[in-house]
Amino acid sequence: MSHDTAYLEECARQIRRDVVEMVYRSKDGHPSPSFSSADIIASLYFEVMNLDPANPSWEDRDRFVLSKGHACPALYAALARRGYFPPEELTTLRTLNSHLQGHPYQPKTKGLDATTGSLGNGVSIGLGMALAGRIMKKDYQVYVITGDGELGEGLIWEAAMAAGHKKLGNLTVFIDNNGYQSGGCVQDVSGPYPIADKWEAFNWHTQTIDGHDMSQILDALERARAVTDRPSAIIAQTVKGKGLSFMVGDNTWHKRVYTDEEYAQAMKELGGKA
Amino acid sequence: MSRITDSTREGFTNGLIDLAQQRDDIVFVSTDSLMVVKGQPFLERWPERVVELGISEQNGVGVCAGLASSGLTPYICTYAGFLTMRACEQMRTFVAYPKLKVRFIGANGGLFGGNREGVSHQFIEDIGILRTIPGFTILCPADGGQVRAAMKASVDIEGPVYIRIGSGREEQVFPPETPFPLGKIRVLREYGDDVALVAHGFVLNRVLKAAEELKAMGVMAKVVEAATVKPLDGEGLAQVLEATGCAVTVEDHTVVGGLGSAVAELIADRVPAHLVRLGLQDTYGESGFPEELLDTYGMSVSDIVDGALRVIGKKKKKKD
């Protein structure tokens, strides 16, 4: 399948620029986890999901749950650029009276579908949304992004078991498999491998893709959509900090603030104005 | 359809049937708890409105968050501690914080509810835990009919509601069809102003008996049911306490954090009065028959009578 991906790649670059602005200006946040999810979020919000930014609570809309809630700067950027609220508000992130909480809080931010932040909970919430769609006979889709370190949470597997058992074809979970968690390499800290086999064992349709290749993301989502008798897990091989040379391979960027020099360098690399 | 109204568990299922007959948004979320609450009649009639998830309480509450945010009103029922302890964080962060309309039904409340199962299934902390979480409505109805009425009264509350139920061995306290006084205390006996006996749940009949014994001794009590623990009817209780100047709280719960604590807070904040708190005195229970457990752990009729005399003594001493 071929896609015109140039537009989506620019959307993802815009999200990354916004993340840098937000973290630099508000002096807090999680840059590299946001970067590893940025391409998936761009594909969902600017191509795949059926949304109406003028009517955020439209009941037939597709839903999105950011289970790795600390990557919310990327999500907030997508929502702002999609028209849910003015992009100028992005830099109020994590400050008093802002609608942009440190982790997603659904009632405050237009366009959010779920409150998240504490890891391991997003698949259950997405499962509930998918079940609601089935009960109310609506054909919306539910998309979730979890981290790979997050797979250490037992609740992920409670939800995986239930969704597989219920054959929920309207639920798709991305595992943002960037190989790092807060404390270091996922392999060293927790060891959830093999990942795809586990979801497969819980009766999910699984695919493994390059989570930064827009064509692969879109193809995977099309295949997931075509599978209607099982939930879909897309293991997205990602790079934490992808898009900025100095963040890749340096896990201190899990949560770190840009200096003036780093900010200037970031904007140069991402094609923005410092 | 057959209706059994003699226990709080059946009261829950009957209440759910009442609601589902009138509305399309009611969903029963089961974590292998369908048998516990004798939910078969509901399942037979509305199979599409039962979400069975197996034994997974945290997942159950997360699923409820997803269902509620999509416009349904889920009722999740399982043992009180598996909700309020195992899934406490899900109840707080994913339901209460975003103000979602999820209804939690906690079974085996108290020693009376857990009885012979022992401590792992006797939940004496549920109300205290939830009182600390902003936005929860906490209800502790006295019998099966009141559970049913409480469900009806609370169905449209924005945000989460917790309803405590028992094991199925509760005595009837109120005549069937008695409305549930959501958010208000209910004065059940008004013999006089010597002392207020404030209680809720499955100990209520004991409190009523104690009031009769006290009356026979010439001590005139008010019996007050506080079935809505949060938000507490501070206005109503303050009026009672102003009149009596002293109170005994009786709850099948640890005295830390529950009704006794709520009344103590009210006394500290608003209306000076003497207080004796009956309930579990910061200890665990053990296996036993329900009535003998209450007798053993400080909630016998004579404990309530003694508590009343003690607190009246404190009040008199102060006056002297």
Note the pTM of the prediction, 2 decimals: 0.96
CB environment A131-166: b (16+ within 10 A), e (fewer): bbbbbbeeebbbbbbbbbbbbbbebbbbbbbbbbeb
Question: What is the maximal distance between C-alpha atoms in chain B?
Answer: 67
pLDDT in tens, A203-240: 999 999 999 999 999 999 999 999 999 999 999 999 99
With 0-12 / 13-18 / 19 or more C-beta atoms within 10 angstroms meaning exposed / middle / buried, residue B182 is middle
Sign of CA dihedral A204, A206, A212, A214: negative
With 0-12 / 13-18 / 19 or more C-beta atoms within 10 angstroms meaning exposed / middle / buried, residue B318 is exposed
Whether residue B59 and residue A107 make contact (CB cut-off 8 A), yes or no, is: no
**Which CATH number belongs to the domain containing residue A208 in this structure?**
3.40.50.970
In a domain, A1, yes or no: no
In a domain, A17, yes or no: yes
| 3-class DSSP assignment, residue B105 | strand
Domain that holds residue A126: 6-269
Quickly name the fold that domain B186-319 has: Rossmann fold (3.40.50)
Q: Which residues pair with A207 in a beta bridge?
A: A234
Q: Is B310 left (phi over 0), alpha (psi -120 to 50) or beta?
A: alpha
A248 CA: distance to closest CA in chain B (Å): 32
Quickly name the fold that domain B8-164 has: Rossmann fold (3.40.50)
Tokens of A86: 């003015």
CB pairs under 8 A between A and B: 100
Is A155 an interface residue toward B (CB < 8 Å)? yes
Using N-to-C axis directions, what is the helix angle for A31-43 and A6-26, rounded to 10°?
150
On the question of a common fold for B8-164 and B186-319, the answer reads: yes
Whether residue A127 and residue B71 make contact (CB cut-off 8 A), yes or no, is: no
Residues of A in contact with B64 (CB under 8 A): 128
In a domain, A81, yes or no: yes
What residue of B is the nearest CA neighbor of A60? B70
Q: What is the DSSP string of A113-167?
A: -----STT-HHHHHHHHHHHHHHTT----EEEEEESGGGGSHHHHHHHHHHHHTT
Pick from B56, B72, B93: CB nearest A132: B72
Interface of B with A (CB under 8 A): 27, 48-49, 51, 53-54, 56, 58-59, 61-72, 74, 89-90, 93-94, 97-99
Tokens of A16: 């990354």
A146 CA: distance to closest CA in chain B (Å): 15
ipTM field: 0.96
| Domains contained in chain A, number | 1
In a domain, A180, yes or no: yes
Whether residue A127 and residue B62 make contact (CB cut-off 8 A), yes or no, is: yes
B100 CA: distance to closest CA in chain A (Å): 10
pLDDT in tens, B260-295: 999 999 999 999 999 999 999 999 999 999 999 999
Q: What band does A8 get if pLDDT is binned at 50, 70 and 90?
A: very high
* Domain range list for chain B: 8-164, 186-319
Test the B interface: residue of A115, A116, A123, A167 with most B CBs within 10 Å: A115
pLDDT in tens, B159-176: 999 999 999 888 999 998
pLDDT score recorded for residue B2: 41
